[in-house]
Chains A and B, each alone.
Chain A
Amino acid sequence: MTEQGTTHVIEVTINGRLYSRTVEARQLLVHFLRDTLDLTGTHIGCDTGSCGACSIILNGKLVKSCMMLAPQADGAVIETVEGLAQDGELNPLQESFSRNHGLQCGYCTPGMLMSAKALLMADPHPTDEAIRLALAGNLCRCTGYTTIVAAVRAASEQPAESSSTPPALGSGERAV
């Protein structure tokens, strides 16, 4: 232990890739993702555990990455928003957010997507009430939530093994 605080070598599997880095004890997990690994899809909103923009899935459980220290994640398996799209194809949840206008400024979207993913992992066909409860830890200041709930509902109604991608709205590149 030192005046500067301890440092720790941690190994974390993120979206299927193993990372090994030396971190300071005081580094928040969200800063480890964003600053150390440049995985900036995970956002920082309130930095007090209220807004959910930093939500990730850690060992299968939805957590707020601003409410953990990086060394606490040693050995963990993490999913972030970057892991959703595969080979340039949006996953059905992302596609559904796009089709249902489940975002405006998009700042909360990474957290919303991870909360929705965690919900659908546990409950593939949730009621609207279950969707709203599952999103209770995620704040959105644009949409009024209605379109987000609709997006999650629509994604949950897709056949589980569906390989068809719904037609995209409009053209151009969409960043999620």
Chain B
Amino acid sequence: MLLKSVNYVRPESVSEALDILSSNEGAAPLAGGQSLTNVLKHRVASVDLLVDISALGELRTITRKGDGSIEVGACATYDEIDHSPDVRAGHDILAREASHIEDQQIRNRGTIGGNCCLSDPTNNLPPLLVALNATMNIRAVASTRQVAAEDFFKGYFLTALEPGELLVSITIPPIPVGAGAGYVSLSVAADSKTIVRAAALVRVNGVIEEARVVLARVASVPIRHYAMEEALRGVAPTAESVRAAAEKIGSDVEPIADGHGSSEYRREMAKVVARRAVLAAIEEGGRK
């Protein structure tokens, strides 16, 4: 397909990329391009200048810190995350989820930063990063700031990034002792667009001491379900108590309806995937 005319530049550093992004209205970063290229083909967004950040080594590093947290460069590809010993060592669930995004070709190009910055409600990684309490590290020409993943996703294809800002990396804190993570999707077919999904981080010490339960595809962005989290706190980590807590998901969520399911169906299935994600998290935490 012939794209609309566009300008292209491949900066040598993040600083140069930021200079270009801040001084050119209509400039947009090009990371793996596995969504943006189609956006350009379909002409649903107008970009004057593509700033190709995909080859910048400083955006591709994956570093495990002394405190057990991991910092993943925004341009690390799904395949690099999948095969990173550092990710596998402490945040296996991130590697597992990255390992089956789309197909091998897309995993070789698509990036974690692009997955987040597109803020497509069907994307795999945003709900997981919210559940894992990740921090988005953002740079502008003369400033840096950090935004909790929970506050980063603002709406359909909308994030907290301001013009001229670039997501440079994502920091995920260590999974606490006694905690595990779970992630369950309901899809039409394996790896097709998801109907509803849930991610959970649960810490057990005899009883459930802390739970983060994130639902995706029930709203424009991943949402924590605080009522279910509260209902889990202090209860035994059993199937019965988790089932009861999932019943807190009710009329407070109003999922979209589409050809794959009504709003009511999605709400009922949200209970199911939330329950399963929490149980998976409890099981994983118990194995460690």
Contact = CB atoms under 8 A, between A and B. Distances in A.
B54 interface: yes
A26 B38 contact: no
Interface residues of A, number: 36
Contacts of A49: 34, 37-38, 105-106
B92 interface: no
B22 to A, nearest CB: 16
B37 A67 contact: yes
B45 interface: no
Which one of B4, B6, B8 has the greatest number of beta carbons of chain A within 10 Å?
Answer: B8
B238 interface: no
A55 B108 CA distance: 12
B50 interface: yes
Given A48-B41, A52-B105, A115-B104, A72 B6 contact: no
Contacts of B7: 1-2, 5-6, 25
A140 to B, nearest CB: 14
B50 A52 contact: no
Interface string B95-109: 000000011111011
Contacts, number: 95
Interface in A1-35: 1-6, 8, 24-26, 28, 31
Contacts of B264: none
A74 B10 contact: yes
A85 interface: no
A67 B8 CA distance: 15
A77 interface: no
A118 B37 CA distance: 23
B109 to A, nearest CB: 6
B177 interface: no
B8 A64 contact: no
Interface in B264-286: none
Contacts of B191: 136
A138 B104 CA distance: 10
A26 B52 contact: no
Secondary structure type dominating chain B contacts = mixed
Contact of B5 (A3, A68, A115): A3
Interface residues of B, number: 31
B104 to A, nearest CB: 6
A61 interface: yes
B6 A62 contact: no
A120 interface: no
B257 interface: no
A94 to B, nearest CB: 20
Given A26-B2, A47-B41, A62 B105 contact: yes
Given A49-B34, A72-B33, A63 B8 contact: no
A39 interface: no
Shortest Cβ-Cβ A-B pairs, 3 listed? A137-B103, A25-B8, A5-B5
Interface of B: 1-10, 30, 33-34, 37-38, 40-41, 48-50, 52, 54, 79, 102-106, 108-109, 191
8 contacts: A1-B48, A5-B6, A8-B8, A26-B5, A55-B105, A69-B33, A134-B104, A136-B104
